[in-house]
């Protein structure tokens, strides 16, 4: 199975897509991974951006309901959820001051603790509407993709 995932264009695309969906690593790992596998850049970019964006609308719309359900049915999750909410609120202070542009910039910086997942969580906890938050997050993801492309190709050319 691993050979199929790294030996075919479809497998490389799907692997890049799913890696880009994973919180924390997101597109920051997905795009360089797809390129390192030998996936053509436009396909790697498409897989990484779409994979990174798939969870965003669900997080914005449903995360507060999911947190509420988890607190009611799995009380041990309360501390973890509270910790996530507190981190999101801290990161959301700047976003709240600057507005949607702050969300875009927050998502665009490819550092740990930033990205589409955290940006969507911040948007949800700040009560931003999906039609406002999603385009800002998408533009942030595209900027992060551009930054990661420069880093990836810079590193590949230095190494090779």
Give pLDDT tens digits for 142-157: 999 999 999 988 876 6
**Confidence class for position 158, pLDDT limits 50, 70, 90:** low
pLDDT tens, position by position, 35-63: 999 999 999 999 999 999 999 999 999 99
Query: Can you give the pLDDT at residue 89?
Result: 83
Cα 69 from Cα 64, distance rounded (Å): 9
Q: What is the pLDDT of residue 53?
A: 98
Question: 3-state DSSP call for residue 30?
Answer: helix
Question: In which band, very low, low, confident or very high, does the pLDDT at 138 lie, cut at 50, 70 and 90?
Answer: very high
Residue 92: pLDDT above 90? no
Distance between CA atoms of residues 11 and 33, nearest Å:
12
When mean pLDDT is compared across 25-39, 55-69, 91-105, 127-141, the lowest value belongs to 91-105
Name the residue ranges covered by the structural domains of the chain: 2-159
Choose among 38, 21, 39: nearest CA to 30.
Answer: 21
Q: Name the average pLDDT for the chain.
A: 91
> Is the Cβ–Cβ distance between 31 and 19 less than 8 Å?
no
Q: Is the pLDDT of residue 4 over 80?
A: no
- pLDDT tens for residues 107-116? 999 888 889 9
pLDDT at 10 over 70: yes
- Whether the per-residue pLDDT at 118 is higher than 80: the answer is yes
Are 51 and 18 in contact by the 8 Å Cβ rule? The answer is yes
């Amino acid at each position: 199975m691993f050979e199929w995932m790294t030996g075919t264009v479809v497998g490389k695309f799907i692997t890049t897509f799913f890696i880009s969906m994973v919180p924390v690593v997101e597109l920051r790992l997905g795009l360089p991974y797809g390129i390192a596998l030998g996936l053509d850049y436009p396909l790697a970019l498409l897989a990484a951006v779409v994979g990174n964006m798939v969870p965003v609308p669900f997080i914005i719309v449903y995360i507060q309901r999911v947190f509420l359900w988890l607190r009611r049915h799995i009380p041990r999750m309360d501390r973890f959820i509270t910790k996530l909410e507190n981190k999101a609120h801290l990161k959301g202070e700047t976003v709240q001051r600057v507005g949607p542009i702050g969300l875009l910039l927050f998502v665009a910086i490819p550092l740990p603790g930033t990205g589409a997942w955290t940006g969507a969580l911040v948007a949800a906890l700040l009560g931003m509407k999906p039609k406002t938050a999603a385009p800002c997050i998408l533009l942030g993801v595209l900027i992060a993709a551009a930054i990661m492309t420069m880093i990836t190709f810079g590193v590949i050319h230095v190494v090779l």
